[in-house]
Amino acid sequence: MTIDVSTTSHLPPQVAAAQAAQAHAAQAQVAERAAAATAAVESDAVSEIHKTLKELATVSAVFERRLSFHINEKLGQMVVKVIDRETERTIREIPPAELQHVRERIREVIGILFDEQA
């Protein structure tokens, strides 16, 4: 499942900079809510996920970035990509792809250890 949030801002640079500072402070709080939404992927948590997505759309409007959300099926974890609207280049992935890969490998190794012990 992938959800994209795309917004455009036509604010003067001074106003956009002030809002960017406020949004930066709110970013940590939004990340915490996104992490909480990751833990609640089940169907009864859909309303919480939609609420979080609306808040993220508000934050992304200030930065003129597009946020892409998807679930890493192997980890059962939500992954957020911050994408530059002009270049469509991924600016940041949370959690980073390298960390996702390491976690997948750790799960594989743990599975192999348990299979050998059984």
What's the structural domain count of the chain?
A: 1
Higher-pLDDT residue of 44, 36:
36
What residue numbers bound the domain in which 54 lies? 2-117
pLDDT tier at 54, thresholds 50, 70, 90 = confident
Alpha-carbon distance 52 to 44, whole Å? Answer: 15
pLDDT tier at 70, thresholds 50, 70, 90 = confident
Q: Supply 105's token pair.
A: 């490998």
Cα-Cα end-to-end distance for the chain:
35
Highest-confidence range of 36-45, 48-57, 60-69, 79-88, by mean pLDDT?
79-88
Q: Please give the pLDDT value at position 66.
A: 84
Residues composing the chain? 118
What predicted TM-score, i.e. pTM, was given to this entire model? 0.51
pLDDT tier at 41, thresholds 50, 70, 90 = low
